[in-house]
């Protein structure tokens, strides 16, 4: 996954660079490896590179950008320098492109294994451009040929911005506004809170799967390009990916995370003295668990250095470094106590083993681990960072065995049914592939 953002100001006098920078800052949790911003006024201008938003898109750099339109992306993937988004597609028109999720197939295009994923997409798109009379139709036409689970935003040299989602709606995309001045399209609604208008009623709505939001210098309209009876909303957005202050597919993330905590308490009750959540994602789980059981919640950890999403780091070294710096156990909170330790997910189990070990070392009598999602068994074809299947602890070991491996007194996942219940949508509308291995058939 990545975090994507498009800003369209109707008044050409705006300079939009800072809006893009702070909007991307609100999406930083969706990726810290690359950040990039392309603006368009009289011409395309860009800043992109490796690192966080603060590192790549400093105030002084973005303030130099002209233009009243922009696209921006943060990504958790390491890639070649030329593949740092936004991507530029050259052809009959110049089109800047950003993508969340993954295109798995493009009708009429043969993937070149010599090229990166990004280069393939750019090549396929640029070859396709010449078939259309105008850039808006070209974007719509190209993405109709794409299969997979993805959201996209494009900005062409004629000043049109097109944003859309695949017909299954795997990845989220929301639409917000800035008063009479402009529109915002982004992965999550927290962007609207950061740079949008200060309106007390939720200013965002979804771009529905199979639809595109088209902005032109003269109009803004939602168009339907494909219809599909089913949905396959990524369930991992609710568990981990999205920010708790965002709404995804109209559902408040915070509500789902609280519900998960309550269900964890219901599904595998255990007698204990304190509940501790692993920061930051699992805190709402732990709060709800505590509220439901009456077992007090404690702050179990203090972090060193700035906040990072350790699970999204590409190497084991960086993940462990992240965890060890982020999760210094507060001895006073655990000494002599039976602890219920809650985390959002377990991928390889290494970081969990590290945490349980640190907790016992600081004097916890018992550690009962509860995980706010089912066991991960499968690699995501739509780009969510799940490692190869032979690395997944949940695919190979039972809960009891995992408890022993990580050194916990008990270990339980949330059931699949529990997750579905917590999200509150019918199972048929969700993609639960990373927990079941079954992915929706991608359609065009």
Q: What is the contact surface with another protein in residues (CB under 8 A)?
A: 10-11, 13-16, 18-19, 22, 63, 175, 177, 179-181, 183, 194-195, 197-201, 205, 217-222
Q: Which is nearer to another protein, 197 or 267 (CB)?
A: 197
Q: What is d(CA 176, CA 187) in angstroms, rounded to the nearest whole number?
A: 11
Work out how close the CB of 225 gets to another protein at its nearest, in angstroms, rounded to a whole number: 16
Q: Which is nearer to another protein, 26 or 274 (CB)?
A: 26
Q: Which is nearer to another protein, 127 or 197 (CB)?
A: 197
For the chain, the C-alpha Rg in angstroms (whole number) is: 22
Work out how close the CB of 66 gets to another protein at its nearest, in angstroms, rounded to a whole number: 12
Q: Which is nearer to another protein, 181 or 267 (CB)?
A: 181
Work out how close the CB of 183 gets to another protein at its nearest, in angstroms, rounded to a whole number: 5
Q: What is d(CA 434, CA 234) in angstroms, rounded to the nearest whole number?
A: 9
**Phi/psi at 183 (5° precision):** -120, 155
DSSP 358-422: HHHHTT-SEEEEEESSPPP-S--TTS-----GGG-HHHHS-HHHHHHHHT-SEEEEPPHHHHHHH
Which of 382, 344, 102 lies closest to 241 in space, CA to CA?
344
| CA-based torsion, 288, 30, 429, 396: positive or negative | negative
Work out how close the CB of 209 gets to another protein at its nearest, in angstroms, rounded to a whole number: 17
Six-digit token string for 444: 């065009």
Work out how close the CB of 186 gets to another protein at its nearest, in angstroms, rounded to a whole number: 14
Buried b (16+ CB within 10 A) or exposed e, 96-117: bbbbbbbbbebeebeeeeeeee
Q: What is d(CA 275, CA 353) in angstroms, rounded to the nearest whole number?
A: 18
Q: Which is nearer to another protein, 145 or 255 (CB)?
A: 255
Q: What is d(CA 124, CA 400) in angstroms, rounded to the nearest whole number?
A: 48
Q: What is d(CA 380, CA 165) in angstroms, rounded to the nearest whole number?
A: 18
Q: Which is nearer to another protein, 245 or 267 (CB)?
A: 245
Q: Which is nearer to another protein, 175 or 392 (CB)?
A: 175
Work out how close the CB of 21 gets to another protein at its nearest, in angstroms, rounded to a whole number: 9
Work out how close the CB of 220 gets to another protein at its nearest, in angstroms, rounded to a whole number: 4
Q: What is d(CA 277, CA 285) in angstroms, rounded to the nearest whole number?
A: 7
**377 burial type by CB count under 10 A (0-12 exposed, 13-18 middle, 19+ buried):** middle
Work out how close the CB of 17 gets to another protein at its nearest, in angstroms, rounded to a whole number: 8
Q: Which is nearer to another protein, 13 or 306 (CB)?
A: 13
Work out how close the CB of 172 gets to another protein at its nearest, in angstroms, rounded to a whole number: 17
Q: Which is nearer to another protein, 219 or 304 (CB)?
A: 219
Q: What is d(CA 159, CA 156) in angstroms, rounded to the nearest whole number?
A: 6
Specify the 3-state DSSP secondary structure of 314: coil
DSSP collapsed to 3 states, 74-123: EECCCCCHHHCCCEEECCCCCEEEEEEEEEEEECCCCCCCCCCHHHHHHH
Work out how close the CB of 24 gets to another protein at its nearest, in angstroms, rounded to a whole number: 13
Q: Which is nearer to another protein, 67 or 277 (CB)?
A: 67
Work out how close the CB of 157 gets to another protein at its nearest, in angstroms, rounded to a whole number: 19
Q: Which is nearer to another protein, 11 or 42 (CB)?
A: 11
Contact 39, 65 (CB under 8 A): yes
With a CB cutoff of 8 Å and minimum separation 6, the contacts of 46 are 36, 37, 38, 39, 65, 86
Specify the 3-state DSSP secondary structure of 328: strand
């Amino acid at each position: 996954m990545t975090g994507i953002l498009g800003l369209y100001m109707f008044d050409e006098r705006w300079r939009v660079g800072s809006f893009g920078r702070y909007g991307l800052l609100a999406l930083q949790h969706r990726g810290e490896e690359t950040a990039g911003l392309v603006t368009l006024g009289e011409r395309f201008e860009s800043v992109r590179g490796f690192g966080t938003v603060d590192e790549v898109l400093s105030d002084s750099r973005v303030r130099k950008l002209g233009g009243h339109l922009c696209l921006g992306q943060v990504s958790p993937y390491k890639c070649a320098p030329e593949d740092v988004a936004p991507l530029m597609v050259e052809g009959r028109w110049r089109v800047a492109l950003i993508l969340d999720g993954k295109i798995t197939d493009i009708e009429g295009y043969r993937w070149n294994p010599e090229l990166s994923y990004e280069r393939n997409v750019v090549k396929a798109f640029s070859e396709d451009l010449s078939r259309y009379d105008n850039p808006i139709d070209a974007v719509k036409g190209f993405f109709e040929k794409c299969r997979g689970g993805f959201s996209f935003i494009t900005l062409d040299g004629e000043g049109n911005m097109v944003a859309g989602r695949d017909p299954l709606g795997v990845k989220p995309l929301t639409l917000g506004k800035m008063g009479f001045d402009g529109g915002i399209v982004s992965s999550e609604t927290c962007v609207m809170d950061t740079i949008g208008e200060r309106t007390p009623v939720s200013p965002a709505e979804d771009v529905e799967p199979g639809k595109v939001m088209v902005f032109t210098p003269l109009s803004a309209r939602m168009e339907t390009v494909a219809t599909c009876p089913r949905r396959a909303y990524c369930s991992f957005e609710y568990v981990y990916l999205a920010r708790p202050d965002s709404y995804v597919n109209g559902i408040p993330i915070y509500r789902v995370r609280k519900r998960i905590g309550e269900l964890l308490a219901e599904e595998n009750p255990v007698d204990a003295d304190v509940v501790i959540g692993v920061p930051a994602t699992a805190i709402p789980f732990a709060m709800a668990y505590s509220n439901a059981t009456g077992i007090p919640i404690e702050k179990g950890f203090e972090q060193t250095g700035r906040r990072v999403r350790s699970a999204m780091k590409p190497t084991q070294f960086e993940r462990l470094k992240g965890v060890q710096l982020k999760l210094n156990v507060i001895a006073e909170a655990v000494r002599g106590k039976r602890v219920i330790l809650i985390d959002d997910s377990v991928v390889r189990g290494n970081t969990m083993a590290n945490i349980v070990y640190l907790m016992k070392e600081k004097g916890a009598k018992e550690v009962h681990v509860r995980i706010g999602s089912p066991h991960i068994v499968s690699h995501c074809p739509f780009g969510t960072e799940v490692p190869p299947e032979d690395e997944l602890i949940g695919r190979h070991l039972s809960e009891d065995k995992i408890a022993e491996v990580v050194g916990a007194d008990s270990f339980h996942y949330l059931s699949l049914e529990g997750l579905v219940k917590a999200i509150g949508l019918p199972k048929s509308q969700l993609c639960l592939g990373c927990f079941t291995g079954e992915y929706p058939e991608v359609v065009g």
